[in-house]
Chain A
């Protein structure tokens, strides 16, 4: 079973077309991974599907880095 980080990484790589090595916990979607604001919205939607959960707009706004996403999902799923 893949870890949350691995699954998040896969979604990020697929969606943003970045190299897997760039997807580190501290990487910011917008500043480091070249996502625009709409990309982030889409990414959150993909994560919702991948982990079968709903992320409210308020929570989504707080997700800025790969690590934020992983922590949030681990809290919700775990």
Chain B
């Protein structure tokens, strides 16, 4: 169980000019739940994910993962960035093994884990490639494999498919949903694509920009496993309209 309690983040951009990017945000995510945060772009959502990852401190409020306060990065929380952030000097295989190489681990075990995620992400043939020689979709699969190889319980995804073309994005969504069915990790998925959010998540939170706050919560009822065909149904379209409407209306209306 992940709990965010009254999180606030204020950036001190210049003397006497404070910018509040997150305002009194409270949120809880159950184990194995897939939630999506959807709303207009602003820096708040990325900051929120980085806080949960332990990369950025909050100004006030508390974050608990299974009652344990979060204050620094930890292997049980994996983060995937929009721009892939692969290490360009490492091959696909070595990128995936990065986290495993940091801890003392049996070489055989390491090898097995890396091979497993190469297979799951369909990158076996590209194990010795450098990131620069891969397409955007493949690079993001490497980033996913690299994070999963660390075996986190919580997966933080910051618009992971935002820079991909429509077709690749659609394929990556199916890839992610299949993976999630298998591994059932807790996921916080940030996106500004309403369809993506509804297709992937159990719960969709519509957020406000600057400062970031939860505006409305939607429990998405579609059964799992979900497939691409779902996106073509009338029910899906109705949900899309409803969520899009929630985003478009002004706060306080």
Partners in one complex: no
B residues with CB within 8 A of A: none
A residues with CB within 8 A of B: none
